[in-house]
Structure 1
Amino acid sequence: MDLQLTGRRALITGGSRGIGLGIARSLAAEGVNLVLIARDDTRLSHVASEICSEFNVDVRTHSADLYENHAADDIASKHADVDILVNNANTPSGGSLESVSDEQWMHNWSLKPFGYIRMMRAFVPILRARGGGVIANMIGAIGQLPSNKAIYSAASCSALTTITEGLAHDLSNMSIRVLGFNSWVVNTEKNVHAFRERAATSLGDAARWPELHSNLPFKRAAEPSEIGDLLTFCVSPRAAYLSGQVISLDGGYVASSLPTIAKGALAHE
């Protein structure tokens, strides 16, 4: 299937590793030119070189700290040829209502959701001037299964779900689609390192880390490439009527974890 993406330009925040890199590779495989945003300039250069060599697309990099208020406007001023904006930059943070200070809340929120908000505000005029485009927000399934153990992350993801859904109608008048994506456990480099450490402690062998996923659907976590492939189709012209949706790629974990009548006291014998 030709996704009709060849020659488009996508900008990906947090694009040098993890889910962002998986998205970058999937888009590049379809001929999409890239702008990768992250804080580590050395890492960015290495990833850009690899993608250019493998997929023969143009890859620009931009080192930026999206915690900073001015970063989004600075990025937009230098990359006005973007057709697809992927908001992905995130630093997961746990902590309960009682343990997270005001300063921590404000610092965390300055990246997610406010980093996403600032990027959308900066790039909507660009997309409108180019005749339309797509905004894809990587949100997170924790917003659907909130817990006081990670109350900040749950609240920020819930806020981004509302923003994504709320923008869709008005932005459709500018030929801009807006989508959200919820993942659960993903085999990013950082997560696999953590799984290996946990397996070494709890199972006595770091190599047994996949066994820690036995409670997940299909007894495994998602791969960054699977998220990238789904997003690539959704932002393509082949899905041109898809907007205002927050799509879950969690193997059915959230749906099967939510309480229902069928699982409760009123369940039929």
Structure 2
Amino acid sequence: MIGNAAETLDHAYICGVTGNAALYAFTRSLGGAAPNDGLRVVGLSPGPVATDRLVSLMRRKAADRRGDPERWQELFASMPFGRAATPQEIGDMIAFLASPRSSFTSGTIVTIDGGMAARSRAF
């Protein structure tokens, strides 16, 4: 699991961007050699995921910004599909990548962010 800061390139989170970019390079490098040992190395880079932690943070933001913690979902309006990913969506991708159906996958990073990274690179 690698954070998607390596793709969004947020200047306010430069340490996270740098760390995640290093993990991308590590995953790709190791994944290229791993098949020699019968192994696979794959990274997964999710965007925001609607975990209990994220929902709790968004409730606090909604209380501060909108005066009502129950309006937290409105804060996702600008995100792709108007929401964060579900934990199930991330788990389904992990299960797929670990399965025989993905047995030729190594040295790559799969991004699940609804297109956020692509949008951040758009001109």
TM-score, with length taken from structure 1 = 0.45
Q: Please, which of 146, 150, 153 is the counterpart of residue 9 of structure 2?
A: 146
Give the Å deviation of 1:191: 1.1
Identity %: 37
Q: Please, which of 85, 97, 110 is the counterpart of residue 222 of structure 1?
A: 85
Looking at CA atoms only, which structure, 1 or 2, has the larger radius of gyration? Answer: 1
Q: Deviations over 1:56-112 (max 9, x none)?
A: xxxxxxxxxxxxxxxxxxxxxxxxxxxxxxxxxxxxxxxxxxxxxxxxxxxxxxxxx
Give the Å deviation of 1:166: 0.4
**Which residue matches 2:22?**
159
Distance in 1, Cα, partners of 2:120 & 2:7 = 10
Q: Please, which of 252, 256, 268 is the counterpart of residue 119 of structure 2?
A: 256
CA contact (8 A) 2:6 2:18 kept: yes
Q: Please, which of 52, 65, 75 is the counterpart of residue 212 of structure 1?
A: 75
Distance in 1, Cα, partners of 2:119 & 2:11 = 20
**Which residue matches 1:172?**
35
Q: Secondary structure at the match of 1:149?
A: helix
Aligned AA for 2:116? Y
- How many residues are aligned here? 123
In the alignment, is residue 182 of structure 1 matched against residue 45 of structure 2? yes
Distance in 2, Cα, partners of 1:169 & 1:147 = 28
Q: Secondary structure at the match of 2:45?
A: strand
Q: Deviations over 1:25-77 (max 9, x none)?
A: xxxxxxxxxxxxxxxxxxxxxxxxxxxxxxxxxxxxxxxxxxxxxxxxxxxxx
Distance in 2, Cα, partners of 1:217 & 1:147 = 17
Give the Å deviation of 1:169: 2.1
**Which residue matches 1:240?**
103
Give the Å deviation of 1:160: 0.3
Instruction: Show the 5 A alignment for 1:28-67.
Output: none
Give the root-mean-square deviation of aligned CA atoms: 1.0
Gaps of 5+ in 1: 1-137, 264-269
Give the Å deviation of 1:199: 0.5
Aligned AA for 1:215? S
Q: Relative to total residues, which structure has the larger strand share, 1 or 2?
A: 1
Q: Relative to total residues, which structure has the larger helix share, 1 or 2?
A: 2
Q: Which has the higher contact order (CA 8 A, sep 6+)?
A: 2
Distance in 2, Cα, partners of 1:147 & 1:214 = 20
CA contact (8 A) 2:47 2:113 kept: yes
TM-score, with length taken from structure 2 = 0.95
Q: Secondary structure at the match of 1:198?
A: helix
Distance in 2, Cα, partners of 1:207 & 1:189 = 14
